[in-house]
Structure 1
Amino acid sequence: MFQAGGADTHTVVAGSGGPTVVVVPGTNFTAAACLPLATALAARYRTVLVDVPGQPGLSSGERGLAEGRLDWYGAWLSDVITACASGPVIVLGHSFGAAIALSSASPRIDGQILVSPGGLTGLRLTPGVLLPPPGSRFPGHGTAPGCSAPCTAPAAPLGPRWWTG
């Protein structure tokens, strides 16, 4: 455990060889959940798994550190890389971890692998995404709580069709 970006940061390090691969898990994912991947990577590379602050795992659980800003996470990852590697690194980011990888300006990053990248743009949902097509029943429900009529979508669609019943 060490301090990076002002946050307690937990890492798991395995393997040897170069370059170092730094694995940054996504939202609600932990270093422990990446152990099968780390085992495979550690056979050829020095592998560093990090627990992202504000997410499950052994790093700081405080979510307010970043105040929702990717630049904080990018600076945090740069600090992690400085603390864990003396040479070039490859950053493997999954989901939100991919957005963190892209936000780091560390000069030691020699390459990035982005797996199911998330958090790269703001989430935009229209009400139509949340509703089934007109006349369709909501999945798994016959009636709404406190309502005797069947739960059906409004007469006119509000956005793109995404659900079929």
Structure 2
Amino acid sequence: MKHVPLATHGIYHETGDSVPVRRTCRDRLEHWHVPHALERFDTSLGVTTVLSAGTSTGRPPVVLLPGADLNAATSLATVGALRGQHRVLVPDIPGEPGLSSSRRPHRYRHLLPVYGHWLDELLPQLCGEPVILVGHSLGAGIALASTPSDRVAKLVLINPAGIVTMRRTRELIWLRTQWRINPTLERSEQLLSYLMSPRFIPDMSLVSWYSMVADHCFPGRPPHRLPARTVHRWSGTPVVVATGEHDRLVPPQALRPRARSLLGVDVHTLPRVGHLALREAPAAVAELITPAPNNQKEAV
């Protein structure tokens, strides 16, 4: 993968705006009942903080890349669902609200290539053995933009950016605009209701998190889809692609043709799930990563 020149900018409105965001992340982790650790790694995008939980079980470790506006502290349900089967490592993506650097790639069209280079730097520091690389939304696009190697035993893409252009309807643009201008709890819940399945009621911790993000940060834009040749490089790696039945940003019918042609795989449709599968269906995500014996589910 060709590396592009690095130009970054901070994501916080004011210098002090990072304080409540980082405090909230630390509070959630400190009150989490599961034994875990935080470690920092140096990268070209600044310090990357990584959550680790679980112990080695003979299976490959899982490196989980959360989607935009999310991080390790907002993905604990999925980490909890995986930690009995794997050691789980969750980097807070630089340039997203969390405990890592606030440096976000400045050039929109270079967003995923720069993040792919960041992941190429990070993976060798995280683990000395092959991993299962799991990406959700933006995290999936970052995984696809990184360089395929024998460091990745399996690639799991959930509600993935990068394969197709994420859909931005007029309703979504309006909801995001209202949310950014006046990030009340009500407007955050309205945005989350659009992103999630109709059956799912977002919990107050997620609603308040989204309000905090809009109040203190400049939310990023959905990334461009990656060139076909970039995605196709991963066709030699075992790949799983899944999206929610009710995902309005990456619907199954839009994702399926390109996943088949570029990666040679069908798309798993997660029933009664929208775009935030890590919050809506952690057990289903864990099942995609490590299917139960004699319970291999067919892609829809």
TM-score (norm 2): 0.40
- Give CA-to-partner distance per residue, 1:23-76, whole Å, 9 cap, x none: 001111111111111112111111101111110111111224x63321111111
Match of 1:57 among 94, 98, 103: 98
- Give CA-to-partner distance per residue, 1:103-158, whole Å, 9 cap, x none: 11152011111110124445686xxx538xxxxxxxxxxxxxxxxxxxxxxxxxxx
Instruction: Compare the two structures and name the one with the higher helix fraction.
Output: 2
In 1: Cα distance, 2:76 partner to 2:70 partner? 12
In 1: Cα distance, 2:99 partner to 2:92 partner? 6
1:94 paired with 2:136, answer yes
Paired amino acid for 1:75: H
1:76 corresponds in structure 2 to 118
Q: Runs ≥4 in structure 1, deviation > 4 angstroms?
A: 121-125
1:67 corresponds in structure 2 to 107
Unaligned runs of 5+ in 1: 132-165
Deviation (angstroms), 1:89: 0.6
TM-score (norm 1): 0.69
Question: Could you say if the C-alpha distance between residues 117 and 67 of structure 1 is closer, same or farther in structure 2, counting changes exceeding 3 Å?
Answer: same
Identity of aligned residues (%): 36
1:3 corresponds in structure 2 to 42
In 2: Cα distance, 1:102 partner to 1:118 partner? 9
Structure of larger gyration radius: 1
Number of residue pairs aligned between Structure 1 and Structure 2:
127
Query: Does the Cα contact within 8 Å between 2:140 and 2:157 map onto a contact in 1?
Result: yes
Query: Does the Cα contact within 8 Å between 1:22 and 1:89 map onto a contact in 2?
Result: yes
In 2: Cα distance, 1:123 partner to 1:31 partner? 23
- Give CA-to-partner distance per residue, 1:75-112, whole Å, 9 cap, x none: 11122211111010111100010000111115201111
